[in-house]
Amino acid sequence: MDPVAWLLADDADPAIRAQALRDLSRASTAEVAGERSRIPLEGWGSALLDRQGSTGDFGGVDDESERWRFDLYSLIQLRLLRPDPADARVRAAIELVRDRVTWGPWHDESPFFAGETEPCINGNALAIGAYFSGAASSSATPDGVAVIEGTVSEPLVARLLSEQLPDGGWNCEAPDGSSVGSFHSTICVLDGLLEYEKAGGVQAVDAIAARHRGEEYLLERSLFLSRRTGEIVDPVMTHFAFPYRWRYDVLRGLDHFVAALPGAREGGAVDARLAPALDLVQRRRSADGRWSLGAAAGAGAGVGAGADADAAAAESLGEESEYQVPMEPAGGAPSRWNTLRSLRALRWAGRA
């Protein structure tokens, strides 16, 4: 089977087709834009936008303690679909979030794009706000003015920059005494800083420096290995989840470097410390050239994981699924998302 043809098949969601056209084919800019324009109108993008209520929330309105999860995870998923921020339906949804959605009474009704207290959450809020500002989009105005104002919080950026730990990472448990970075918190902040830089934020110089330190935190660990022992830090990291939320895994780490260092596609050097992560992705490829989603039974064999890790991965992948629009089943079925993301990373690294 030709995996790229499968990604571009008529039954593939427009979000898949648009990214496959952009990253894995020789499609024109117009072809990519045409496919991208379908994302808010059909498939997963339309289903996600349909969930939004008149108050801007995406669910959980009857349970104040759960509402923020629906809002955050739905908006993370929407960003991962990569619709055009200038699309009328997308713009209306984001403006409603900006004007109506808060983090609830536990955070003094802080507006969604102002964030709350944890870097793993705030990094995602920044990534969402910066992406949907439209400042980095081809549809933004020629002078760089954002399509949507008020979605990027400079105080939030300053807070995240101030919370970086000496080892270059971030950790939501730092207020409780943790002095070392967390893969989970770090990747969330790195994604936020990268989107912020692309949007031309006023603290971009400091954000770039912080991002480079955070990326070094991951590179020093080859994205999933202990600096001290060389062993896998957590076998669950070797199971590729999508859409992701706050958890880290190896393919999510590679996603970040592909987005942060596009020069590798033009023959630029790929850091040698990424080799173990790329090797893992290659090993996870099935005989028909595709990748699965999450963990199939025994999928950890050969990478230091086993049945216990598979069970933990399945639990971690499924426990928050109700907050997002279902896209693909986990558990070993071929996944268009993971096939797209894996092929993109391997091509970026010159391995496919």
Q: Is the pLDDT of residue 330 over 80?
A: no
Q: Which amino acid is at 205?
A: V
Residue pair 187/256 in contact by the 8 Å Cβ criterion: yes
Structural domain boundaries of the chain? 8-38, 45-220
Cα 191 to Cα 187, 316, 325: the distances in Å are: 6, 21, 21
Across 260-291, b (16+ Cβ under 10 Å) vs e yields: bbeebeeeeebeeebebbbebbeebbeeeebb
Residue matched to tokens 């410390």: 273
Q: Which amino acid is at 95?
A: E
Q: Binning pLDDT at 50, 70 and 90, where does residue 63 land?
A: confident
- Residue 264 pLDDT: 62
141-152 pLDDT per residue, tens: 555 556 789 999
Q: Is the pLDDT of residue 307 over 50?
A: no
Q: Is the pLDDT of residue 315 over 50?
A: no
206-255 pLDDT per residue, tens: 999 999 999 999 999 999 999 999 999 999 999 999 999 999 999 999 99
109 burial via Cβ count (<10 Å: 0-12, 13-18, 19+): exposed
Identify the DSSP state of 86.
T
Percent of residues, the chain, with pLDDT higher than 90: 80
Indicate the angle between helix axes 14-24 and 29-36, nearest 10 degrees.
160
How far apart, in whole angstroms, are the C-alpha atoms of residue 95 and residue 75? 12
How far apart, in whole angstroms, are the C-alpha atoms of residue 78 and residue 58? 11
How far apart, in whole angstroms, are the C-alpha atoms of residue 265 and residue 344? 10
Residue pair 8/21 in contact by the 8 Å Cβ criterion: yes
248-284 pLDDT per residue, tens: 999 999 999 999 987 666 567 899 999 999 999 999 9
How far apart, in whole angstroms, are the C-alpha atoms of residue 122 and residue 248? 15
Identify the DSSP state of 43.
H
Residue pair 220/158 in contact by the 8 Å Cβ criterion: no
Q: Is the preceding peptide bond at 243 cis, omega within 30 degrees of 0?
A: yes
- Predicted structure pTM score: 0.92
